[in-house]
Amino acid sequence: MEFTDRVLKCIDCGAEFVFTSGEQLFFHDKQFKNDPKRCKQCKAKRVSGGGRVRSETRTTCSECGAETTVPFKPTQGRPVLCRSCFQKQAKPVVAPPSSVMQS
């Protein structure tokens, strides 16, 4: 199958980018059905999480009563801890004792 370079338009920034014949061959070999929709810069930004803002919810710590924010919406009936209480509750990982073999 013969591939030739094609010019596509990025759906994020609207810039034109080249979909090279080598990239088309790669897409064909991987059996991808759709052409790329984003230029390399927008794809890299999207992969790295560029611009996503995590929503914070204000709440009260179930342990100490301090006002805090958490990066999720608390579920009713489940405790919500501030950072310091959460870190106190987290148990350190202890390595099992190593057994020494003697001959």
- Give yes or no for a contact between 74 and 61, defined as CB atoms under 8 angstroms apart: no
Q: Is residue 98 part of a domain?
A: no
**Residue 59 and residue 61: Cα distance in Å, rounded?**
7
Domain of 61, in residue numbers: 57-89
pTM: 0.48
Q: Do the bridges between strand 67-70 and strand 57-60 make them parallel or antiparallel, or are there none, so unpaired?
A: antiparallel
37 and 68 share a domain?
no
Closest to 62 in 3D by CA, of 82, 76, 87: 82
Q: Tens-of-pLDDT digits for all 103 residues of the chain?
A: 789 999 999 999 999 999 999 999 999 999 999 999 999 999 998 887 755 666 788 999 999 999 998 888 888 888 899 888 988 887 666 666 665 655 5
Number of domains in the chain: 2
Residue listed under structure tokens 């004792």: 97
Strands (E) across the chain are located at 6-9, 16-19, 57-60, 67-70
